[in-house]
Chain A
Amino acid sequence: MLDLSRVVRNKDITQAFIVVRSSGEFGPGGWIENAPASINMSGVISVASEQDLNKVPEGDRVNGAIIIHTKEPLFLTRNSPKNPGTSDKIIWNGSTYRLFSLFPYMGYGFYKALAEKVEGA
C-alpha cells in the first residue's frame, strides 16, 4: 500500500501543534477526567471553516474548524476498556480545537482529522 506519510512530514509544509489527550473513568457524579497529557506533534494544518463571529446577547462567540494531517495517531472519544478517554484537543496558533471527525487513513501512513474551536481549557 502506498505510504503517503512523507507528504505530511514534509518540513516545508508542516507546523508544530500540541495534542492534549484526556483519559478518565466513570465515578460518583459521572465521568471524571484524569490530568491530560500534552504531546508535541507536527503535521499539515489547513482551515476547514473560517473563524466566524456570532453575536449573541451574552457576548461574542467565535467558532471555526481546522483540518489536521499528521503521521501520529489522533483519537476521538474512545471506549477502550483499558484506556477510555474523550476526544483529543489540538492547541495551534494560540487557539484550542477539539476533534470531532477522524478519517481512518492509517493504512496510508497518516491520520486526517477535523477539529472545531473551543473556548476554555
Chain B
Amino acid sequence: MIKDQLLTMEDIATKLQDLFITILGLGPMRDAWATSDHTAQEQNPYYYVRISWPIEGSPAFTIDDDFCFIRMFESDDAYNRQREKVIEDIDADTIQESLIYTRVVEAQVTFYGPKAFTNAHAVRDAMLTDAYRNVLAVDKIYPIPDIPAAQQVPENFQGRWWKRVDLNLRFNVLTVRTVRVNTIKSVQLTTSSDTILSSVTITSN
C-alpha cells in the first residue's frame, strides 16, 4: 500500500542543514553540542549553518567566522507538473487514491566568511558524491547534478567588504499524497416511459 510522502520546505531545509554540517566538517561539534549544556554559542554547529527568515529575527553573524544560510523555494519546472494517479483497494468498502509526483525545490545557499568559497565548493561537490547523496535519498530527496557555478558577491557592510559566495542547488523530491474514499456499494436506477415506471438496484459484489 502506498504511503504519504509529504516533506514541507522546513523539513527539507532542516535535512539540508544537518547534511551541510557534516559536509563542512562540523559533525564532531554537533555530537559534542548534543551532550553539552548549550552555553557556548561558538560551539553550536547550528550557529554556523542556519536557515533564513526566522519569524522573530535572530542574532546576526560576524565577519570572522564561516557561516552558511539556507533559503528554500519550490521551483517552477515542467517536471513539477506531472502527476501519476494510483488507485488501490483497501477493503470491501474503501479505496485509496494516491497522487504521486516529483516536486522540484531549490536551495539558495549563501556562504559568508574567510572560507566562503572553499565551503561553497565543498557543498557543490558533495551533491555529486554518493556518500552524501545517499543520506538525502533516505528521504527521497535527489540533488539535480547540473549545478551552476558558485557566485562570488562580496557585500559592503559597516564599511568593510564581507566575503560572500552564493550557490544554487536544485533537488527532485518524491511526493505522495493519499486520500481514502468509500466505494459505491449500490446504485438505484429508475427508468420511465409513458406506461411503465421501473426501478432496479445494482449492488456491487
Contacts and interface: CB of A to CB of B under 8 A. Distances in A.
B162 interface: no
B74 interface: no
Interface string B8-51: 00100110011000000000000000000011111010110011
**Size class of the contact patch on chain A:** 20 to 34
A80 B58 CA distance: 12
A72 to B, nearest CB: 21
Contacts of B50: 26, 30-31
Given A26-B46, A29-B14, A77 B58 contact: yes
B57 A87 contact: yes
A30 B57 contact: no
Nearest to A120: B55
Given A79-B60, A79-B62, A29 B44 contact: no
B148 interface: no
A74 B165 CA distance: 35
A117 to B, nearest CB: 15
A73 interface: no
**Size class of the contact patch on chain B:** 20 to 34
A28 B56 CA distance: 16
A81 interface: yes
A33 B55 CA distance: 10
A86 interface: yes
B59 A79 contact: yes
Given A25-B47, A86-B59, 14 more contacts: A25-B41, A27-B44, A28-B18, A29-B51, A30-B54, A30-B58, A31-B56, A31-B58, A77-B57, A77-B59, A81-B40, A81-B42, A82-B41, A86-B57
28 contacts: A24-B58, A25-B44, A25-B46, A26-B44, A26-B46, A26-B50, A28-B14, A28-B17, A28-B46, A29-B14, A29-B17, A29-B51, A30-B46, A30-B51, A31-B50, A31-B58, A31-B59, A33-B56, A77-B57, A77-B58, A77-B59, A78-B59, A79-B59, A79-B60, A80-B59, A82-B39, A82-B41, A86-B59
Interface of A: 22, 24-31, 33, 77-82, 84-87
